[in-house]
């Protein structure tokens, strides 16, 4: 079993579970799944990017704002739940800048803060003010408290907020990065960029690093809006929630083709013959349905009609598939498989040097690009990702074994997984040897399941499942969640109209032993669906 060096930290007692431990290594053997684990960080780190929501009702309670759930949360996925260091930084900004009835959010640069202020002003008519915090380039957006939700929407959709480690440095009053000498930081940062570049087979100058995956998507979207103004975009296939929200809320609109089918490619061909578009966005494979688009057909269409093809390959984990062979640009969340530990966020944007859009995109991105990946986060990402390809190879094998088991189980109605969903389309861009470990097919570590008698069985199965339960994916430990409840609770009927069941359970497979993991799922199916 291959684990990053950080996985072998000395275990620390949990403040919420007497006598327990919660390093990444411990989570493989004693996952957080019991009702008493509600709200616990996953893993036990002040910078954890997930929190335990152990029952189906807890997930609904979170979405409905129940105090019994919210009061237990110490952290959560950073774009949805403010880390405690971020909350402390906001409070400090309030003390310095806010007046009665006002509040503040913090951003890592003046430009990011100004973008948030303009977003809020355009939607509310108020006039937010931007103030320099005077440390590490951080700027606060001050606005009336009644519009705090609008500002939080910006934080969530764009991923441009301060990271927890940057907030921690500001709260601690440190004028230094606190992570080593400038030479050490520069060396590790360059190593991280080179590692991402090598995975995609391009020069490092074609890689841009960001604080999270969504901020990479948002930066590319802004660059394309400048390059191809006044054009709608196209979303092909049902995507991760905020990828669609950016296109809906920040530009000229989006033509959405949720099925990702051959018939919809024909409809797009009709659309682009009549209307120039600003770019086509898709995922390979998609989250949460694990459907892979026909990238060759999309690439041919893009070249014919002169629009860029943008592919998010987070779920392919890069080492499993080479989507840059078709795409003009690729976005990736480094928070997921690349890191694995679940204690840091990051994102990457990779430009295809062979793309007709390369020169224009590169110049526009470089003109506006700010290196906002906090050095402390970059160092953790570099350390966590040293055994990336080996970890992914092991996860691939375990996920395939679990998917095969679940597909044959009589209580499972459907398994969404690249091997079953769109195997021909996936195989067309699959690398010949994923992770250098197996010449056979490697399909990544994510799958989704829908059960027979789903309305009754799904909550019971989920509650009985003995794996970590919370948002996030790509972790070294298996992590499950009722995805549609968390991502689309306010639009469940709409999600189902797009083919995404409200009872869908998404599973991100980790480094557990395959037999042990399969046994846990078998027990939950037997116990939870009777």
Please provide the average confidence, as pLDDT, over all residues in the chain: 92
Backbone angles phi and psi of 434, in degrees to 5: -75, 120
Q: Are the C-beta atoms of residues 78 and 345 closer than 8 Å to each other?
A: yes
Range 122-139 burial, b when 16+ CB lie within 10 A, else e: eeeeeebbbbebeebbbb
**pLDDT tens across 187-244, in order?**
778 899 999 999 999 999 999 999 999 999 999 999 999 999 999 999 999 999 999 9
Whose tokens are 């070249």? That residue is: 303
Q: What is the token pair recorded at 132?
A: 């320099």
Nearest to 415 by CA among 506, 314, 316: 506
Q: Tens-of-pLDDT digits for all 530 residues of the chain? A: 333 323 323 333 332 332 333 567 789 989 999 999 999 999 999 999 999 999 999 999 999 999 999 999 989 999 999 999 999 999 999 999 999 999 999 999 999 999 999 999 999 999 999 999 999 999 999 999 999 999 999 999 999 999 999 999 999 987 666 666 677 777 778 899 999 999 999 999 999 999 999 999 999 999 999 999 999 999 999 999 999 999 999 999 999 999 999 999 999 999 999 999 999 999 999 999 999 999 999 999 999 999 999 999 999 999 999 999 999 999 999 999 999 999 999 999 999 999 999 999 999 999 999 999 999 999 999 999 999 999 999 999 999 999 999 999 999 999 999 999 999 999 999 987 644 444 456 999 999 999 999 999 999 999 999 999 999 999 999 999 999 999 999 999 999 999 999 999 999 999 999 999 999 999 999 986 55
Nearest to 255 by CA among 291, 222, 281, 273: 281
CA 409 to chain centre: 30
Q: Are the C-beta atoms of residues 278 and 307 closer than 8 Å to each other?
A: yes
Q: Are the C-beta atoms of residues 479 and 472 closer than 8 Å to each other?
A: yes
d(CA 491, CA 166) in angstroms, rounded, equals 34
d(CA 229, CA 223) in angstroms, rounded, equals 10
d(CA 369, CA 363) in angstroms, rounded, equals 10
pLDDT attached to residue 183: 76
Nearest to 232 by CA among 275, 293, 295, 283: 275
d(CA 115, CA 135) in angstroms, rounded, equals 19
Q: Are the C-beta atoms of residues 468 and 28 closer than 8 Å to each other?
A: no
Whose tokens are 């996860």? That residue is: 395
d(CA 199, CA 319) in angstroms, rounded, equals 7
First to last CA, the chain: 35
Q: Tell me the CA distances in angstroms from 151 to 82, 86, 105, 159, 295, one per residue in order.
A: 13, 14, 8, 12, 36
pTM for the model:
0.93
* Residue 146: other Cβ atoms inside 10 A: 12
Residue 4's SS3 state is: coil
* Residue 274: other Cβ atoms inside 10 A: 6
d(CA 336, CA 385) in angstroms, rounded, equals 10
d(CA 312, CA 356) in angstroms, rounded, equals 19
Reported as type and span, the H/E element at residue 19 is strand 17-21
Nearest to 200 by CA among 34, 317, 116, 54: 317
d(CA 83, CA 162) in angstroms, rounded, equals 10
* Cis preceding linkage at 493, omega within 30: no
Residue 58's SS3 state is: helix
């Amino acid at each position: 079993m291959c684990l990053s060096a950080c996985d072998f930290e000395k275990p620390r007692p949990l403040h919420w579970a007497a006598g327990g431990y919660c390093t990444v290594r411990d989570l493989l053997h004693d996952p957080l799944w019991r009702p008493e684990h509600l709200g616990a960080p996953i893993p036990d780190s002040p910078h954890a990017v997930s929190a335990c929501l152990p029952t189906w009702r807890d997930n609904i309670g979170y979405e409905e704002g129940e105090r019994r759930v919210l009061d237990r949360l110490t952290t959560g996925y950073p774009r949805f739940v403010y880390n405690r260091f971020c909350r402390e930084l906001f409070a400090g900004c309030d003390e310095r800048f806010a007046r009665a009835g006002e509040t503040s959010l913090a951003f890592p640069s003046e430009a990011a803060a100004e973008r948030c202020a303009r977003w809020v002003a355009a939607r509310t008519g108020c006039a937010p003010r931007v103030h320099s915090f005077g440390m590490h380039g951080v700027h606060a957006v001050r606005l009336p408290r009644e519009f705090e939700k609008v500002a939080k929407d910006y934080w969530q959709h764009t991923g441009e907020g301060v990271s927890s480690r940057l907030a921690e440095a500001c709260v601690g009053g440190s004028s230094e990065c606190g992570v080593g000498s400038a030479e050490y930081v520069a060396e590790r940062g360059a190593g991280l960029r080179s590692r991402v570049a090598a995975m995609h087979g391009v020069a490092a100058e074609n890689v841009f690093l960001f604080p999270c995956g969504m901020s990479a998507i948002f930066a590319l979207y802004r660059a394309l809006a400048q390059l191809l103004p006044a054009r709608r975009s196209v979303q092909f296939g049902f995507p991760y929630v905020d990828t669609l929200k950016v296109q809906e809320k920040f530009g000229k609109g989006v033509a959405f083709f949720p099925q990702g089918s051959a018939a919809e490619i024909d409809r797009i061909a009709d659309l682009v013959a009549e209307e120039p578009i600003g770019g086509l966005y898709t995922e390979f494979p998609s989250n949460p349905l694990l459907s892979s688009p026909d990238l060759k057909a999309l690439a041919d269409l893009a070249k014919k009609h002169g629009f860029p093809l943008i592919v998010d390959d987070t779920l392919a984990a890069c080492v499993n598939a080479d989507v840059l062979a078709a795409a003009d640009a690729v976005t990736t969340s480094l928070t997921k498989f690349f890191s694995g530990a679940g204690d840091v966020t990051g994102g990457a944007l990779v430009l295809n040097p062979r793309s007709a859009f390369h020169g224009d995109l590169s110049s526009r991105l470089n003109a506006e690009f700010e290196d906002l990946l906090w050095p402390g986060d970059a160092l953790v990402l570099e350390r966590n990702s040293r055994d990336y390809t080996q970890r992914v190879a092991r996860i691939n094998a375990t996920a395939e074994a679990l998917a095969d088991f679940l597909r044959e189980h009589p209580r499972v109605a459907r398994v969404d997984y690249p091997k079953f969903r769109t195997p021909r389309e996936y195989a067309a861009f699959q690398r010949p040897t994923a992770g250098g470990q197996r010449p056979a097919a490697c399909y990544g570590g994510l799958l989704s399941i829908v059960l027979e008698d789903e309305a009754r069985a799904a909550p019971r199965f989920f509650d009985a499942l003995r794996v970590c339960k919370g948002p996030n994916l790509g972790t070294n430990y298996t992590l499950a969640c009722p995805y549609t409840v968390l991502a689309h609770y306010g639009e469940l009927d709409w999600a189902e109209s797009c083919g995404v069941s409200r009872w869908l359970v998404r599973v991100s497979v980790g480094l557990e032993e395959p037999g042990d993991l399969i046994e846990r799922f078998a027990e939950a199916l037997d116990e939870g669906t009777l």
